[in-house]
Amino acid sequence: MEREQLIRTMESILGTEGVVHEREQLRSYECDGLMNYRVVPDLVVLPESAEHVQQIIRVCYEEGIPFVARGSGTGLSGGALPVQSGVLIVLSRMRKILEVDIPNQRIVVEPGVINIWVSQEVADEGYYYAPDPASQVVSSIGGNLAENSGGVHCLKYGFTTNHVMGAEVVLADGSVVHIGGGKAPDAPGYELLGAFVGSEGTLGIATKITLRLLRVPEAVRTLLAAFEDTEEAGGAVSGIIGGGIVPAAIEMMDALCIEAVETAVHPGFPQAGAILIVELDGPEAEVADQFDRVIKVCEENNASEIKVAEDDAERALFWKGRKAAFAAMGRIANDYYVQDAVVPRTELGAVLKRISELGEEYGMRIANVFHAGDGNLHPLVLYDNDNPGEAEQAEELAADIVFACLDHGGSLTGEHGIGVDKKKFMPKMFTDDDMNTMQLLRCAFDPHGLCNPGKIFPTPRLCGERPGPFHMHPIQRAGLAENF
């Protein structure tokens, strides 16, 4: 189908206001939160309903046009990077909260609904939605689903995958399936929902999502503890976890990060080599007792200062400082590269040491902010784009950090996803057999590879389908894939 004809077809479905095709306007969709990859999509469509999504995908399927879903575009691995000659399906006009079911502790939303709206919607009832990625004021539930977003409280409460109970999904051929029980548990069949969440938009587009709501805890207590260095702070983390406490969150920031955050949002963080923010929540009596234990552990690990949040306002300030960490880097460096990797908790000390060595080897500054409780590191490599070659060097250093994490038994990514950014590293963590097996799942969902192609896997595979509507696959034609 010619582009002009495609535009007219999409306009007949969505109206002229639902289709973006002017060059200049298309440019605003050329990347997501990861800005070093850019592709201008051929066409952007803005559906308002599940039926729209289905109609759009049917056209794509019949014409063999690849498509990519995008929520708020805050992803950090290029998961919503458009594909050339493809359609970008932007779900930000699907923002309805469809149903609140407090008796069953469920809420049903459209994919464009912003994460924080969910908790706001049910706050008066004493409920909230647990996954809270730092982007929660802008990121969408559909995007969270695609990336299996985490957040600072996932140590205790789990990730998006533990809170999504059902989804209506439009598959790559335009058919609609309802997976997961939604309100009832244990739907018979394979755990398709568990496989779908975190599949980075490659298995279909969720158009209706059922989430689990949690009761707001009776008590929440938060402290901030300062240490001479990350090693001592790490000792405190081990002491807390080893003591049988599962905090709602334990976050660590190093000196460079503290400096940046203090300059940017003035949360009143002490000057220190490292700080921990520890939050406990639950029944009052339990929290009170465990909070005392946490303070004791921090003292035993030579905390130079312990600040207990006296009220909600002070707690909010601590978290404001933590959640502003990425953005605050702009205060101490022109540019920075965000890394996301995981190590087993007991390897944290060794890996931090290695990161600091790598910084010295490269002669670059690295700020560390991370979810210490689950070993999820976010080293920020600082550089200046005006100095030729520094951006490439920062990227190389960030890659070496990930390799160090893998050497210590970790993972390529804890929450930002593989996307386009890390697909080249997948073979360092998985064998060809591992990846081919994963792609069997993709072949079951999307045999023609139309749904967000070119993400996650370094070598896309075709699925050995009998020639159907397509005689030659567009990806194959471009020499980008081989037959499976």
Cβ closest to other proteins, residue 18 vs residue 234: 234
DSSP 355: H
Residue in 197, 226, 257, 369 binding other proteins, rule: CB under 8 A = 197
We find the least distance from the C-beta atom of residue 200 to other proteins, in angstroms, to be 8
What's the one-letter identity of residue 167? A
| Closest to 197 (Cα-Cα) out of 188, 184, 186, 206 | 206
Which residue from 325, 323, 303, 307 is spatially nearest to 231, judged by alpha carbons? 303
Q: Which of 29, 117, 128, 159 binds other proteins (CB under 8 A)?
A: 159
CB of 61 to other proteins, least distance (A): 15
Asked if 199 interacts with other proteins (CB under 8 A), we say yes
User: Which residues sit opposite 176 in a β-bridge?
Assistant: 170
264 vs 280 by CB, closer to other proteins: 280
Give yes or no for residue 123 binding other proteins (CB under 8 A).
Answer: no
3-state secondary structure 248-294: CEEEEEEHHHHHHHHHHHCCCCCCCCEEEEEEEEECHHHHHHHHHHH
Site for other proteins in 380-399 (CB under 8 A): none
161/304 with CB nearer other proteins: 161
Interface residue with other proteins, options 100, 391, 429, 480 (CB under 8 A): 429
**Residue 350 interacts with other proteins (CB under 8 A): yes or no:** no
- Closer to other proteins at the Cβ: 65 or 76? 76
Contact status, residue 362 vs residue 343, Cβ threshold 8 Å:
no
Residue 361 touches other proteins, criterion: CB under 8 A: no
Show the CA angle centred on residue 365, arms to residues 363 and 368, nearest 5°.
Answer: 140
Smaller CB separation from other proteins, 270 or 458: 458
Report the residue from 17, 51, 99, 191 that binds other proteins according to the rule CB under 8 A.
191
Q: Which is nearer to other proteins, 266 or 428 (CB)?
A: 428
Looking at beta carbons only, is 178 or 331 nearer to other proteins?
178
Rounded distance between C-alpha atoms, residue 144 and residue 159, angstroms: 10
Considering CB under 8 A, how many residues would be counted as binding other proteins? 94
Torsions phi, psi for 243 (to 5 deg): -80, 10
Q: Tell me which stretch binds other proteins (CB under 8 A): 67-75, 281-289, 303-311, 392-400.
A: 281-289
Cβ proximity to other proteins, 26 vs 438, nearer residue = 438
Point out which span in 25-33, 62-70, 100-108, 132-140 binds other proteins (CB under 8 A).
Answer: 100-108
Please give the C-alpha separations between residue 158 and each of 137, 163, 283, 344, 374, in angstroms, as whole numbers.
19, 8, 19, 16, 11
Between 162 and 393, whose beta carbon lies closer to other proteins?
162
440 lies in the binding site for other proteins (CB under 8 A): yes
- Using CA atoms, how far apart are residues 112 and 124, in angstroms rounded to an integer? 22
- Closest to 332 in 3D by CA, of 364, 287, 285, 309: 364
Question: What phi and psi, each to the nearest 5 degrees, are found at residue 3?
Answer: -60, -45
Find the binder of other proteins among 376, 399, 453, 460 (CB under 8 A): 376
Q: How far is Cα 202 from Cα 80, in angstroms, rounded to an integer? A: 10
CB of residue 178 to other proteins, shortest distance in Å: 5
Order across the sheet with 97-101: list the strands.
97-101, 106-109, 205-212, 164-170, 176-179
283 binds other proteins, rule: CB under 8 A: yes
Quick one: which of 19, 83, 91, 171 contacts other proteins (CB under 8 A)?
171
Q: Which is nearer to other proteins, 122 or 317 (CB)?
A: 122
Does residue 198 interact with other proteins by CB under 8 A? yes
- Cα gap 294→241, rounded to integer Å: 10
Contact between 426 and other proteins by CB under 8 A: the answer reads: yes
CA distances in angstroms from 183 to 127, 162, 187, listed in the order given: 16, 14, 10
Q: Among the candidate windows 90-98, 257-265, 312-320, 408-416, which touches other proteins by CB under 8 A?
A: 408-416
Separation between Cα atoms, residue 420 and residue 33, nearest integer Å: 12
Nearer to other proteins, 14 or 435 (CB): 435
The reply on whether position 284 binds other proteins by CB under 8 A is yes
DSSP 336-352: EEE--EE--GGGHHHHH
* CB of 250 vs other proteins, minimal distance in Å: 13
Whether 417 contacts 76, CB under 8 Å: yes
Residue 150 in the binding site for other proteins (CB under 8 A)? yes
Q: Which stretch binds other proteins (CB under 8 A): 55-63, 356-364, 389-397, 431-439?
A: 431-439
Closer residue to other proteins in complex, CB, 242/468: 242
User: Any idea how long the chain is?
Assistant: 484
Name the DSSP class of 76: S
Does the protein bind other proteins through residue 183 (CB under 8 A)?
A: yes
Question: Per-residue string for binding with other proteins, 223-262, x by CB under 8 A?
Answer: ---------------x--xx-xxx----------------
Nearest in space to 367 (alpha carbons), one of 345, 342, 387, 338: 338
Question: CA 196, CA 263: separation in Å to the nearest integer?
Answer: 41
